[in-house]
């Protein structure tokens, strides 16, 4: 990675929220930063890797990243970790105890909620964790605020000696705006102070600390009332006033520039007195928040009448075009909608696997097999649930494929007696949360075949490194885990672990058929790099010899986006059965020569573009 030197102080940069957070983390003198990649939070650590004077790592999961940060904080160092919303669920076990111990060096947890679910398995509101853990939550509204609030978060964390949650959303992380940056301050860690009554959370030590947690919460609530993070924007139109946080603040300000608006930058604990005062001045108070009616519920519980999710959508993002009609309905009218061009019907363009993706062979093979129940997991390979493979039956959360497969095996009744349970998991996902599930499978004698798809990358988030790739966040050589040995250590018999090339379809098919017949845990590791990472070596492309193509469509079932159907015909067999024929061509400029489509092609119509058929090669160009 070519590390650009940090821009000088007072530069006005055009930064995304993620870049702005990273810049601020560096400026505060933070010493340790850790994360597991997850959209939309990934770029924070990728960006931090470029900054000097700071240790930054990919951790194997979010709980570990938070533990790393806590360890650094105990040494008196400023520490940071980043994760996506579902990651905080994973980290929550550590979080719920470190709220009791408190922290020393400022510890900031950036949590990015995927509001609108662009690439997540659920939409959840991380602000609940602030309430649950009695911790402050800061909510920036754009990149400049993300920068400023990251700095404020470190200060707040040290003032109250507790972790601070910086709640981001997609429209912070991935929105670019102008950010004026400052200078880095060097902070020397104060050092570790032995204090078992504080750091050793056995019941006898933890109990006396609980009241301290509530004292801290009261102090934070008092601070929220007067904090600059919660400014009131006064307005001339008192028919409606707003309370808003995060990007919702910008949308309200845009849609209702004349309305009074209390911005919640420090949104947990709430500045209830300030909000009550605003409520008393306006005809209607409307809470605008993404995602859950959390502030709204707390206001109602405090006896402050307000509107919120009764007029606003419960799901997805809030934008000016959503707010205007909702508030107009409050006054019994309809907001004048801007005249716009009518929407047109266009085919969907769902995400697909890449040309030559090594997962294509795996899902093609699975789709050709009968009587499988396939337990899936999170990552690129979740796309195997789609066309043309339809070869995934479940997908819940990181690593869940393992435990669920065991449950499927143990829970099966007579109806599924002849079915084989297969679990599919990626390399990084396996290291993140899959290992424990595999141990459970071996320990409890599950009859499950595990396909461990090692493409040597966290593919879905852009090919980040992990202990399976042998490189660290900085791209430098690191200890590489041996998956076969790891699986053996977790209890899979050595002869039940196979490493296969997913581009060799017959080998893969044979391995799957044999291993699913064996009534004990088995692991098939498919070993080919992701085509988007730099170790991937494309070879000579293929093309289709038209005269030989019989239109069988077997190559189409592989699902490679480089294969195009040029012509369809319906053939009536002598038996009277109608067969759909698909004649194809290969987009030679896209083809990388993986050879997957060649293997199911019975008439041998797919050949190397060069030098076998130079004339056809030219014609296809």
561 vs 538: CA distance, rounded Å = 16
Judged by beta carbon, residue 263 or residue 528, the one nearer another protein is 263
Q: Is 119 an interacting residue with respect to another protein (CB under 8 A)?
A: yes
Binding of residue 592 to another protein (CB under 8 A): no
> Does 388 interact with another protein (rule: CB under 8 A)?
yes
Residue whose structure tokens are 């337990």 = 375
C-alpha to C-alpha distance for 525 and 451, rounded to whole angstroms: 6
Least spacing, CB of residue 177 vs another protein, in Å: 5
Q: Restricting to residues 329-368, name those near another protein by CB under 8 A.
A: 337-344, 346-354
- Cβ proximity to another protein: between 467 and 559 the closer is 559
Residue 174's closest CA among 39, 289, 56? 39
550 binds another protein (CB under 8 A): no
Separation CA 231–CA 227 (nearest Å): 8
Enumerate residues 239-258 that contact another protein by CB under 8 A.
247, 250-251, 253-254, 257
Q: Is 236 in the site for another protein (CB under 8 A)?
A: no
Does 534 sit near another protein (CB under 8 A)?
no
Residue 14 or 214: the one with the smaller Cβ distance to another protein is 14
Q: Which of 11, 14, 155, 614 binds another protein (CB under 8 A)?
A: 14
Contact predicate 166/138, CB 8 Å: yes
Cβ 336 to another protein, closest distance in Å?
A: 10
Q: Of 65 and 582, which CB lies nearer to another protein in the complex structure?
A: 582
The strands making up 107-113's β-sheet, listed across from edge to edge, are 55-58, 32-35, 79-84, 107-113, 164-169, 137-138, 266-268
Nearest approach in angstroms of CB 395 to another protein is 15
Q: What is the 3-state secondary structure (H, E, C) of 440-490?
A: HHHHCCCCEEEEEEECCCECCCCCECCCCCCECCCCCECCCCCHHHHHHHC
Is 213:99 a contact under the CB 8 Å cutoff?
yes
Task: Name the DSSP letter for residue 111.
Answer: E
* Contacts of another protein in 215-234 (CB under 8 A): none
Among residues 284, 297, 299, the alpha carbon closest in space to that of 330 is found at 284
Alpha carbon of 323 to those of 7, 16, 167, 339, 610: distances in Å? 38, 25, 22, 17, 59
What are the residues whose beta carbons fall under 8 Å from the beta carbon of 616, sequence distance 6 or more?
543, 545, 546, 609
With vertex at residue 113, the alpha carbon angle to CA 424 and CA 224, rounded to the nearest 5 degrees, is: 150
CB of 557 to another protein, least distance (A): 9
582 is a site residue for another protein (CB under 8 A): yes
Q: How many residues bind another protein (CB under 8 A)?
A: 55
Q: Where are the alpha helices (DSSP H) in 518-609?
A: 554-558
39 is an interface residue for another protein by CB under 8 A: yes
Least distance in angstroms from the C-beta of 170 to another protein: 8
Task: Give the interface segment with another protein, choosing from 113-121, 123-131, 285-293, 432-440 (CB under 8 A).
Answer: 113-121
Q: Which is nearer to another protein, 199 or 617 (CB)?
A: 617
- 552 touches another protein by CB under 8 A: no
State the residues that interact with another protein by CB under 8 A. Answer: 14, 39-40, 114, 118-119, 142, 171, 174-178, 247, 250-251, 253-254, 257, 317, 319-321, 337-344, 346-354, 380, 383, 387-388, 462, 532, 556, 559, 561, 563-565, 568, 582, 589
């Amino acid at each position: 990675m070519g590390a650009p030197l940090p821009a000088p102080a007072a530069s006005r940069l055009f930064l995304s929220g993620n870049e702005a957070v990273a810049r601020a983390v560096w400026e505060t003198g933070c010493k340790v930063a850790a994360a597991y990649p997850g959209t939309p939070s990934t770029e924070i650590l990728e960006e931090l890797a470029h900054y000097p004077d700071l240790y930054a790592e990919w951790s194997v999961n979010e709980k570990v990243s938070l533990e790393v940060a806590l360890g650094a904080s105990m040494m008196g160092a400023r520490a940071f970790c980043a994760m996506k919303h579902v990651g905080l669920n994973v980290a929550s076990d550590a979080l719920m105890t470190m709220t009791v111990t408190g922290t020393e060096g400022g510890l900031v947890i950036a949590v990015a909620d995927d509001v609108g679910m662009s690439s997540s398995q659920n939409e959840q509101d991380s602000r609940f964790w602030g309430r649950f853990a009695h911790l402050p939550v800061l909510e920036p509204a754009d990149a400049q605020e993300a920068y400023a609030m990251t700095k404020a978060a470190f200060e707040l964390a040290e003032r109250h000696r507790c972790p601070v949650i910086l709640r981001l959303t997609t429209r912070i992380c991935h929105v670019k705006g102008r950010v004026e940056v400052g200078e880095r301050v060097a902070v020397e860690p104060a050092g570790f102070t032995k204090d078992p009554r504080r750091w050793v959370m056995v019941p006898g030590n933890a109990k006396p600390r609980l009241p301290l947690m509530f004292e801290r919460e009261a102090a934070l609530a008092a601070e929220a009332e007067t904090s600059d993070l919660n400014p009131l924007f006064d307005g001339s139109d008192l028919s409606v006033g707003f309370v808003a946080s995060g990007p919702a603040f910008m949308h309200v300000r845009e849609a209702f520039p004349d309305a009074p608006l209390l911005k919640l930058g420090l949104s947990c604990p709430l500045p209830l007195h300030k909000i009550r005062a605003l409520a008393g001045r306006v005809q209607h108070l409307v809470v605008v928040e993404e995602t859950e009616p959390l502030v709204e519920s707390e206001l109602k519980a405090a006896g402050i009448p307000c509107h919120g999710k009764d007029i606003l959508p419960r799901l997805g993002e809030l934008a000016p075009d959503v707010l205007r009609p909702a508030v107009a309905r409050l006054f019994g009218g309809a907001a004048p909608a801007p005249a716009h061009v009518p929407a047109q019907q266009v085919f969907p363009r769902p995400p697909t696997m890449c040309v030559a993706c090594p997962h294509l062979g795996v899902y093609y093979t699975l789709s050709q097999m009968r009587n499988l129940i396939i337990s899936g997991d999170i990552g690129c390979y979740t796309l195997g649930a789609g066309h043309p493979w339809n070869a995934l039956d479940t997908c819940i959360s990181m690593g869940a494929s393992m435990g669920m497969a065991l449950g499927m095996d143990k829970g099966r009744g007579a109806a599924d007696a002849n079915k084989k349970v297969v679990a599919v998991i990626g390399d990084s996902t396996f290291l993140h949360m899959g290992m424990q599930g595999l141990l459970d499978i071996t320990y409890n004698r599950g009859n499950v075949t595990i396909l461990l798809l090692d493409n040597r990358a966290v593919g879905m988030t852009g090919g980040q490194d992990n202990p399976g790739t042998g490189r660290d966040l900085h791209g430098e050589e690191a200890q590489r885990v041996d998956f076969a040995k790891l699986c053996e250590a977790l209890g899979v018999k050595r002869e039940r672990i196979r490493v296969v090339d997913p581009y060799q379809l017959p080998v893969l098919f044979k391995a799957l058929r044999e291993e699913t017949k064996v009534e004990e845990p088995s692991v098939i590791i498919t070993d080919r790099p992701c085509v988007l990472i730099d170790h991937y070596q494309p070879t000579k492309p293929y093309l289709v010899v038209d005269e030989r193509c019989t239109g069988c469509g077997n190559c189409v079932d592989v699902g490679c986006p480089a294969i195009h159907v040029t012509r369809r015909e319906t053939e009536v067999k002598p038996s009277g059965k109608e067969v759909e024929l698909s004649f194809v061509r290969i987009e030679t400029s896209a083809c990388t020569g993986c050879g997957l489509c060649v293997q199911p092609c019975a008439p041998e119509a797919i050949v190397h573009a060069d030098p076998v058929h130079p004339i056809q090669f030219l014609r296809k160009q």
